[in-house]
């Protein structure tokens, strides 16, 4: 059959398109099925356009500090429409780049929605309703995830936004409530605050950025409050009412009630896997809490069916999805000496101001696991490069096993730490010890 493949990937996000490229490189006839734009949510509505928005915000904030650098400028302003357009252009450029990569690697791109249709078969329905079927010896599910909704906070695209609406505002709202203080919520809080919005972050847990090391969370809270962002933690949302002027949200903290008002509410309370309408139940693929269950090789338990990325669970990161895509493709191709992906060694980054980055265990997690630890800390205010940059907020924290010297985790907050964390990621993968890192020579300053 002309439409018979060794591998068919459903979804072309950073997991799906990378899986397809690796499969093709290994000599497997490969196709990708995509219902929307190539690159998935990450390239089109997630990581990439968000970083473009945050870069505009960073430059705008720096312009208001020019006197610190002996510089002057007049009539500093912004054009919200132009800021959004640049973000969309960046996303479009990268989506076109994926299109080029598909062609270069001789991967067939099939437009439409794919679903499992029996052993070795994938049914495809195009946007105009046309139906077809392709045969595949192996199928990789890479359908990703979408924003979670909670009762009483259902997005309407006007007053209550998800990340999609938050990325393409027609104007910067005067006031915003962000529900959720994970990476997505904090990044939007940072972006909108930079352009003058009054921002309140509401978090149900007792601290913001709850997956980060506690010291990092505290430093971030201090920095965000200094920028004028209000943080409400340990909050219970009682109800949200929408009106012509925006939203009123009733919250309770430590038994005390308060009503918050804002033009817009951004819901950033996590994600759910896109497990619907892809034939999982009929195929016998196991699903738990909206995510597909897989083993260490990304196999679902149904012969020839693999799943990767946000669809299979945390950490919900593009680079994790890409590595899983490579692993699944290499497992299918029979590559020898494979190693399962160790998710504890995957760096996580938040591109707020200041930036936050981490890899490995927090101090608390290391203690929970029974490690006797040594902790190192160095503040940016004592670092020559940070002082020269005018960015002295933040610090680097390292966690080592006191007995073996093993690097257990690294946690950072400050300027450009999302570029610095990779060194610790490499160190952990190479099983570097404290002594090894001490001997490594880093450039001054």
- 346-375 confidence digits (pLDDT tens): 999 999 999 999 999 999 999 999 999 999
Q: So what's the pLDDT on residue 46?
A: 87
Question: How far apart (Å, rounded) are the C-alpha atoms in residues 9 and 369?
Answer: 38
Q: Which of 317, 333, 289 is nearest to 140 (CA)?
A: 333
Cβ-based burial of 88 (10 A; exposed 0-12, middle 13-18, buried ≥19):
middle
Q: Which of 116, 93, 131 is nearest to 9 (CA)?
A: 116
pLDDT at 111 over 80: yes
Question: How far apart (Å, rounded) are the C-alpha atoms in residues 161 and 184?
Answer: 13
Q: Which of 56, 49, 117 is nearest to 89 (CA)?
A: 49
Nearby residues of 162 by Cβ (< 8 Å), 6 or more positions away: 147, 155, 266, 267
How many Å from the N-terminal Cα to the C-terminal Cα in the chain? 61
3-state secondary structure of 358: strand
Query: In the beta sheet, which residues pair with residue 258?
Result: 251
Quote the tokens at residue 144. Answer: 């990703």
Quote the tokens at residue 371. Answer: 């490690």
pLDDT at 1 over 50: no
Nearby residues of 365 by Cβ (< 8 Å), 6 or more positions away: 409
Question: Is 291 part of the annotated catalytic residue set?
Answer: no
Residue located via tokens 């090391």: 213
The arithmetic mean of pLDDT across residues 193-201, rounded, is 98
pLDDT at 2 over 60: no
User: Alpha helix locations (H) across 174-289?
Assistant: 183-194, 214-226, 280-283
Rounded to a whole number of angstroms, the CA Rg of the chain reads 23
- 214-263 confidence digits (pLDDT tens): 999 999 999 999 999 999 999 999 999 998 889 999 999 999 999 999 99
Q: Tell me the average pLDDT of the chain.
A: 96
Question: How far apart (Å, rounded) are the C-alpha atoms in residues 228 and 128?
Answer: 49
Q: How confident is the model at residue 192 (pLDDT cuts 50, 70, 90)?
A: very high
* Domains in the chain: ranges and CATH: 4-147+272-333 (3.50.50.60), 160-268 (3.50.50.60), 354-439 (3.30.390.30)
Q: For residue 135, what are the CA distances in angstroms to 3, 20, 84, 122?
A: 6, 16, 41, 6
Q: So what's the pLDDT on residue 302?
A: 97
Kindly state the percentage of the chain with pLDDT values over 70: 99
Residue located via tokens 């946000």: 310
Question: How far apart (Å, rounded) are the C-alpha atoms in residues 256 and 205?
Answer: 16
- 28-55 confidence digits (pLDDT tens): 999 999 999 999 988 898 889 999 999 9
Q: So what's the pLDDT on residue 146?
A: 92
The arithmetic mean of pLDDT across residues 338-347, rounded, is 94
Question: How far apart (Å, rounded) are the C-alpha atoms in residues 137 and 128?
Answer: 27
Catalytic residue, from 319, 323, 371, 444: name it: 444
pLDDT at 313 over 90: no
The arithmetic mean of pLDDT across residues 22-26, rounded, is 98
Greatest alpha-carbon span in the chain? 69
What percent of the chain is helix, strand and coil (3-state, nearest 5)? 35, 30, 35
Q: Which of 99, 91, 103 is nearest to 51 (CA)?
A: 91
pLDDT at 103 over 50: yes
Between 79 and 313, name the one with better pLDDT. Answer: 79
CB 414 within 8 A of CB 437: no
Nearby residues of 13 by Cβ (< 8 Å), 6 or more positions away: 39, 40, 41, 42, 43, 142, 144, 309, 310, 318, 321
Q: So what's the pLDDT on residue 3?
A: 66
pTM: predicted TM-score of the whole model, two decimal places? 0.94
DSSP for residue 66: G
Quote the tokens at residue 365. Answer: 């997690």
């Amino acid at each position: 059959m002309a439409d018979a493949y060794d591998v068919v990937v459903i979804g072309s996000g950073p997991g799906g398109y990378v899986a397809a490229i690796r499969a093709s490189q290994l000599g497997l006839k490969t196709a990708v099925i995509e219902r929307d734009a190539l690159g998935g949510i990450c390239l089109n509505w997630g990581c990439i356009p968000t970083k473009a928005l945050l870069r505009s915000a960073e430059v705008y904030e720096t312009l208001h500090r020019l006197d610190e650098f002996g510089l002057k400028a007049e009539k500093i302003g912004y054009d919200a429409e132009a800021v959004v357009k640049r973000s969309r252009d960046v996303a479009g450029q990268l989506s076109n780049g994926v299109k080029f990569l598909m062609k270069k690697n001789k991967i067939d791109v099939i437009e439409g929605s794919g679903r499992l249709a029996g052993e070795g078969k994938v049914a495809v329905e195009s946007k105009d309703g046309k139906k077809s079927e392709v045969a595949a010896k192996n199928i990789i599910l890479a359908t990703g995830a979408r924003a979670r909704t909670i009762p009483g906070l259902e997005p309407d695209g006007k007053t209550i936004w998800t990340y999609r609406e938050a990325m393409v505002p027609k104007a910067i709202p005067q006031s915003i409530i962000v529900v959720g203080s994970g990476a997505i919520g904090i990044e939007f809080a940072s972006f909108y605050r930079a352009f003058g919005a009054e921002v309140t972050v509401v978090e149900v847990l007792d601290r913001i950025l709850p997956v980060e090391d506690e010291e990092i969370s505290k430093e971030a809270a201090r920095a965000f409050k200094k920028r004028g962002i209000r943080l409400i933690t340990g909050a219970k949302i009682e109800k949200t009412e929408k009106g012509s002027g925006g939203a009123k949200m009733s919250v309770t903290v430590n038994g005390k009630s308060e009503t918050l008002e804002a033009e817009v509410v951004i819901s950033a309370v996590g994600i759910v896997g896109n497990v619907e309408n892809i034939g999982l139940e009929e195929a016998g693929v196991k699903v738990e809490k909206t995510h597909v269950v897989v083993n260490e090789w990304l196999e679902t338990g149904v012969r020839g069916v693999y799943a990767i990325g946000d669809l299979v669970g945390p950490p919900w990161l593009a680079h994790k999805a890409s590595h899983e895509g490579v692993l699944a493709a290499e497992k299918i191709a029979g590559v020898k000496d494979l190693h399962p992906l160790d998710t504890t060694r995957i760096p996580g980054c938040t591109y707020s101001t200041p930036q936050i980055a981490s890899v490995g265990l927090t101090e608390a997690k290391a203690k929970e696991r029974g490690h006797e630890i040594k902790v190192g800390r160095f503040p940016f205010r004592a670092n020559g490069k940070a002082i020269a940059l005018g960015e002295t907020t933040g610090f680097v924290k390292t966690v080592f096993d006191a007995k073996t010297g093993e690097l257990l985790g690294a946690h950072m907050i400050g300027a450009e730490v999302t570029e610095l964390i990779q060194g610790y990621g490499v160190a952990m993968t190479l099983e570097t010890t404290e002594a090894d890192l001490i001997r490594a020579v880093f450039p001054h300053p």
